Amino acid sequence: MLPSISERLNRLPAQLRPLDAAVRRHYARGASVRPDGTVQVRPMPWVGPEAFAFVLYPPAEPAWLAAFARRVGQPIPEVYAVMLTALNGCFAFGLALYGLPPSLQERAPRLDDRTLQPLALEAANRHWAREYRDAEGEFHIGGCSWTPTENVGYFCTATGRFRSRRKEGEVLQEWPSLHDLLADELPSAEARDRERRPGPPLPWTSPRGDT
């Protein structure tokens, strides 16, 4: 494993251990670090030439978290803020955890046009969360493809618990921590990805579809 990727994974907080384990398991299938520091693991050519199963963004600056609270009028929950200072959002098999895009920050750094950025927490909590019935007072942190036509949203409650919600308001599942959410949802997201793959089995896929 590239030292730079190994060091990044080693610095992830305990709540992200399921993501750490999943990335390490797929690392041998291809990995790279972009000039902007974004880690990409396991190419997915059946999706597109630039698609990867895992996209991990560089840590957010502490000042960005404080600026978010000033702009939005609410702080990022501590359980999620801890994650952002180690991992500023990610994608994993259709599961997304939102972050703070560098280009939208105060005194934004000059970015290359090819710089990858996470989906924006600010847009999620100002706008996207309104699409989910009965989610008032909860903090919108991410989402995942659930069926070919429907995504679910992930939310953090005022007590620090995590939920998956449908837009109609149904709470599908609740977890005591982000660790438990990822431990349940990452395998499900990967299984749904296997079902979407076109064509014959990939060389590393068994006849049963196991990887």
What is the reported pLDDT for 77? 96
Closest alpha carbon to 185 in 149, 148, 142, 150: 142
> Which domains, ranges and CATH numbers included, belong to the chain?
58-108+115-196 (3.40.1580)
Model pLDDT for residues 40-90, shown as the tens digit of each residue: 999 988 788 789 999 999 999 999 999 999 999 999 999 999 999 999 999
pLDDT in tens, 85-127: 999 999 999 999 999 999 888 776 666 667 899 999 999 999 9
pLDDT tens digits for range 143-180: 999 888 899 999 999 999 999 999 999 999 999 999 99
Strand pairing class (95-97; 150-156): unpaired
| pTM of the predicted model as reported, rounded to 2 decimal places | 0.88
- Residue 115 burial (CB count, 10 A): 16
Task: Count Cβ atoms within 10 A of the Cβ of residue 156 and give its class: 0-12 exposed, 13-18 middle, 19 or more buried.
Answer: buried
